[in-house]
Structure 1
Amino acid sequence: MMEKREFANTGIMVSAIGLGCMGMSSSYGERNDEESIKTLQRSLELGIDFWDTSDIYGNGDNEKLISKVLRENRNRVFIATKVGFRSGNDTDDGVARQGNYLDGRPEHIKKAVSACLDRLGVECIDLLYLHRVDPNVPVEDSIKAMAKFVEQGKVKYLGISECTLDDLNRAHKIHPISAVQSEYSLVERTVEKNGILQRTKEINAVFVPFAPLGRGLITNKKHMQHLQPTDFRYNIPRYNGEHRINNENLANELDLYAKENFNATVSQLAIAWVLAQQDNIIPIPGTKRRIYLEENVKSIDIHLSERHLKDINAILDKYPNVGERYAARQKGFLKK
């Protein structure tokens, strides 16, 4: 049975494992809307009720896809979406830009949230994130614009994604930040070092790790050798050259450890490891296929002792050359 975790000291209990929906509509090769809808439906059967999307995923198509299941199950789903990214063709001046870009201006936030509500087909969004902090707009201005929707009863809680510690603190002074999202996994632990993970505990926020499986880095070794140009991981350093070799060796050893100690897959071990770090963590492994959803759910049955955690850290220490998690353009969206 799926465990529950409290959402941000609110008394609201949500599934300890959520569902990241991005890959259903973008970034990971061809879409299969029929299978994605079945995956959403199956997630509810398995007790997974914490769903994550964004207005930029598929340029709104992901929210529309989710709405096909959400509308009939509104009381069963805690829905989170994000604003602050725009596609290159979505401009106010009529001049197309190359690729996605950030826009945290209040006037854009206002239009974007209203559009999210329409696409999702809901009267109120449970959790609204600022997807990235726009370096050209004070984070306070973006959060104030989002907070107006809370005042209007159209959003319940606010969150922020991929932020610096300073931006988190500044945002929290304007309006309580209930959730912080960033990448966190066996191969990506920056939030342990930059203070973000600890700060979420201090402000009673949940920490929501995306890519807890390392974007397939340690769970799908064969596929990693044959990425297609349409897959956004194609140019990321971690999946190429010496880094890929390092990570294949790491994946092999973690896979063996999972089998020998838990009769489990490395995916299940990876999610269990994330869950074991803090009790305010709700990972959102993404998938568009039921077979992987059902595999991921079983991670809830793995309980890691202190010995297990030490063993895993020892394995990670043997393979430090993991590589950068983003290519140059993607890194440009992260505020330094």
Structure 2
Amino acid sequence: MEYRPLGRTGWKVSAISFGAWAIGGTWGPVQDEESIAALHRAIDMGVNFIDTADVYGDGRSERLIAQVKKSRKEEIIVATKAGRRLNPHTAEGYNRQNLTTFVERSLKNLEVEALDLLQLHCPPTPVYYMPEVFGILDNLVAAGKIRYYGVSVEKVEEALKAIEYPNVQSVQIIFNVFRMRPAELFFREAARRQVGIIARVPLASGLLTGKITRETQFSPDDHRAFNRQGEAFDRGETFSGVDLDIALQAVEELRPLVPPGMTMTQFALRWILMFPEVTCAIPGAKRPSQAEENFSAADLPPLSEETMQKVKAIYDARIKPLVHHYW
């Protein structure tokens, strides 16, 4: 496993880390026993960073992580998120009382005295223009409730604004073969300010595994069934905002580029790691077999420059007109 610095925290985290959305819910059926086994397998393979949120399964994900951490001797850094419990989800809700309440709940779920990394959970855009919100986070650090903080964003513009705040240590942003815009300007600025980059939705909701077809049926509780047009939350979260038919065509064009000995999943993850500004990618894993496939990608050889250029050409022709200007 490769390890990369996370902002200015002093931590070095696994280049492919564990995204714990799926073990909480809204990705179809999930069994806690399998989720726990997947977490253990990830740690066995060198993963030392787990990303979760208080809304993943209404705390289910956080509690499972706490259970696993208690039984391991390794140092495991856990990042969680706060804000999406707000209903309605408004900028005004990001106030001292609400954020403190959310933090206290996550402390209880994770069974810790201080959260390693707290991230604002894709707040409305106006929040990034409210210095008082980041002041509240500074106060929570001073109070010993959180060690460090960052943000999870929908848009590049939000990421660029967030890193103007001096104590933002990390930005979590959708970055994958179907969402390349962050690499244009944001990566350079984040590196200049020594801000960690966490690449979320690295497999475009499973599209980049190459296992989804037009006939694939998703269960009613899977966001890939109910959020394709943004009915529940930002549509860019589901299939990276790409029309399914066009995305599947692009996947078929990508398939011949996968080197021998790599799965398409590993190819998509290895592509992300070709960008040195990225701290880590956080694919989900509901089963140990998925964990093994995901995390072994960090040990595979780099992709060739020719391959990288061909991937970019497919993006430019097929995907860029659909997503580039939105996020």
Q: Mark yes or no: TM-score above 0.5.
A: yes
- The reply to whether residue 110 of structure 1 matches residue 100 of structure 2 is yes
2:222 is matched by which residue type in structure 1? D
Cα RMSD (Å): 2.7
What are the within-5 Å matches in structure 2 for residues 86-97 of structure 1? 86=85, 88=87
Q: TM-score when scaled to structure 1?
A: 0.83
Tell me which residue corresponds to 2:145: 154
What are the within-5 Å matches in structure 2 for residues 37-186 of structure 1? 37-73=36-72, 75-86=74-85, 88=87, 103-135=93-125, 137=127, 138-162=129-153, 167-168=158-159, 171-172=162-163, 174-186=165-177
1:170 to partner: Cα distance? 5.5
The answer on whether the counterparts of 2:169 and 2:196 sit within 8 Å (CA) in structure 1 is yes
1:197 is matched by which residue type in structure 2? F
Deviation track 1:207-256 (CA, whole Å, cap 9, x = no partner) reads 101111111112222387322332112241576xx932222121123223
* Unpaired runs of at least 5, structure 1: 89-96, 326-330
Q: Which moved more, 1:14-23 or 1:278-287?
A: 278-287
Q: Distance in 1 between matches of 2:55 and 2:197?
A: 21
- The reply to whether residue 250 of structure 1 matches residue 253 of structure 2 is no
Q: Distance in 2 between matches of 1:105 and 1:283?
A: 30
* Unpaired runs of at least 5, structure 2: 230-237
1:165 to partner: Cα distance? 5.8
Q: Distance in 1 between matches of 2:15 and 2:193?
A: 19
Q: Distance in 2 between matches of 1:178 and 1:284?
A: 17
- The reply to whether residue 276 of structure 1 matches residue 274 of structure 2 is yes
Is the partner of 1:320 in helix, strand or coil? helix
Tell me which residue corresponds to 1:27: 26
Residue identity (%): 27
Tell me which residue corresponds to 1:315: 314
The answer on whether the counterparts of 1:267 and 1:296 sit within 8 Å (CA) in structure 2 is yes
C-alpha spacing 1:118/1:112, structure 2 compared with 1 (3 Å): same
1:172 to partner: Cα distance? 4.5
The answer on whether the counterparts of 2:175 and 2:199 sit within 8 Å (CA) in structure 1 is yes
C-alpha spacing 1:114/1:250, structure 2 compared with 1 (3 Å): same
The answer on whether the counterparts of 1:164 and 1:196 sit within 8 Å (CA) in structure 2 is no
Q: Distance in 2 between matches of 1:19 and 1:226?
A: 25
Larger RCO, structures 1/2 (Cα 8 Å, 6+ apart)? 2
The answer on whether the counterparts of 1:246 and 1:321 sit within 8 Å (CA) in structure 2 is no
Is the partner of 2:295 in helix, strand or coil? helix
1:125 to partner: Cα distance? 1.5
Q: Which moved more, 1:272-281 or 1:289-298?
A: 272-281
Q: Distance in 2 between matches of 1:318 and 1:129?
A: 34
